[in-house]
Amino acid sequence: MKKIDVVIIGSGIAGITTAYYLQKNFPNLSYVIIEARSDLGGTWDQMKFPGVRSDTDMYTYGFSFNPWQGSIVAQGRDIKAYLTDTAKKFNIREHILFDTKVTSLSWSDNQWTARTSRNDFTSKYVICCTGSRDYTSPNFPKFKDENKYQGEIVHTQDWGDVEFKGKSVAIIGSGCTAVTMAPAIVKEAKKVTLVQRSAAWIVNVDGKEKSTRRNKSFETLMDYFHSRLFKKSYKKMIIARYPYYNNTNIPSYDYWDQRPACSLDNDYFDAVKLSKVSVEHQEISNFEKNGIKLKNGKVIECDLTIMATGLNAQLLGGIDILVNDKKIHMNDTSWYRGMMFSGIPNLFAHTGYINFSWTARCEIVSQRICRTLKYMEKKRLASCTPKYVGKESKPSIEANYVLRSVDKFPSRTYKFYNSNYYLDYLIFKLTRINDGAVDFK
């Protein structure tokens, strides 16, 4: 059992951000980053499918302490290289313990015990940087008569050595992954068909656009808030802007009810316009020997079926959490400022925005965590535990991966503004650490 001051779980964007601010503010505190994979990067180490790229502009997705210098949209391999460079530049990589999975976290006697697949650790603080999705078990829907299908079925999350050259390909899904993958494989595939239960909002991103972190932050938030305040008129404006939205391609939900997908330099729109990619808005009835039968009776012949059906939501990496030998069920907790949970002492976690850069919130949460630790260390406090307060929690975005997993999330929230970066920034910077919603002992 090794004793350390802070255990960080995960070495993706959140883990790197946390480590940077922790060592900047507490050069004398010891920390370890426990990573289940063989390399850092999180999402960007795992996702390998053709066309994988950022769906958020890189000016806000990059770190403020190591600004992104490339184009507004980046390929997955370039983002991975950027994260690797950042970890090396700030001497973070040397703190990472790779190929090690945390199996449980147990709090007792004012300390955490982290059980892992290798070494066990005790620490005063734990900071969970595992995101809000289950990266080990993708959403893999099952369809009738799949066993009769003679083609290959793969999921984008588990992409390996998949051959699509000269093949007829069906992509099931309507999110960012499907929209980025379709134009990426159409050059080599015989034909590509997107199969979607319903249409999705897609907008274009100019790959040559130059901006700043501050300007892009403002533009993105204004787009979101205008779409919320003027739903009907904003929806009409988007439809008028893109010829793609004919009678069959108009989504049934309002713009920004789900995060819109992005077409880079019109690659997706051009592929559809030139009939290189076809789109079918129909539910799947069943698989057949040579393809997929839709509920309207149409059969999509395909040699390869790609599931771009997303991930399942998951908090704290699915790790078992025990407080004084009692297992914690997340649905019984309240979410304090989107960074702590009621009844769980000295445990912090990162959660992103629905309409903005994941990295931006990681930075302000990391700074708030450091403010909390400074307060505790100065007053020689042993623990901080959020109270069960707040209002009933409801999903603020209708993404399927969220709706499928509502019971895995806290049932209440306290001052958690997951759609307003500027409000969050001011509150995290200016409000008192001891705000009455947390018990300090």
Contact present, 193 and 306 (Cβ < 8 Å)? no
For residue 301, with 0-12 CB atoms within 10 Å meaning exposed, 13-18 middle and 19 or more buried, which class applies?
middle
CATH topology of domain 146-307: FAD/NAD(P)-binding domain (3.50.50)
Give CA–CA dist 258/251, Å, rounded: 11
Quick one: pLDDT at residue 398? 52
User: Three-state SS for 438?
Assistant: strand
Q: Which of 355, 396, 400, 14 is nearest to 178 (CA)?
A: 400
Distance CA 434, CA 424 (A): 17
For residue 380, the model assigns a pLDDT of: 97
- Residues 114 and 121: beta-carbon distance below 8 Å: yes
Q: Which of 213, 215, 208, 178 is nearest to 193 (CA)?
A: 178
C-alpha span between 103 and 405 (Å, rounded)? 21
Would you give the DSSP letter of residue 260? Answer: P
- Spelled out in words, what is the top-level CATH class assigned to the domain 2-136+312-440? alpha beta
pLDDT tens, N- to C-terminus, the chain (441 residues) = 999 999 999 999 999 999 999 999 999 999 999 999 999 999 999 999 999 999 888 988 999 999 999 988 999 999 999 999 999 999 999 999 999 999 999 999 999 999 999 999 999 999 999 988 888 888 899 999 999 999 999 999 989 899 999 999 999 999 899 999 999 999 999 999 999 998 999 999 888 776 655 565 666 667 766 776 777 888 888 899 999 998 778 988 888 777 789 999 999 999 999 999 999 999 999 999 999 999 999 999 999 999 999 888 889 999 999 999 999 999 999 999 999 999 999 999 998 876 678 999 999 999 999 999 999 999 999 999 999 887 676 555 555 656 666 677 888 887 776 667 888 888 899 999 999 999 999
Torsion of the alpha carbons at 335, 56, 100 and 314, rounded to the nearest 10: 40
- Domains 2-136+312-440 and 146-307 equal at CATH topology level: yes
How do the domains of the chain map onto residue ranges? 2-136+312-440, 146-307
Q: What is the pLDDT of residue 223?
A: 73
- DSSP-assigned letters across all residues of 318-347: G-EEEETTEE--GGGSEEETTTEETT-TTE
371 token code pair: 């403010």
Please report, in angstroms and rounded to a whole number, the separation of the first and last CA atoms in the chain: 26
Neighbours of 54 (CB within 10 A): 24
Nearest in space to 72 (alpha carbons), one of 57, 51, 60, 82: 57
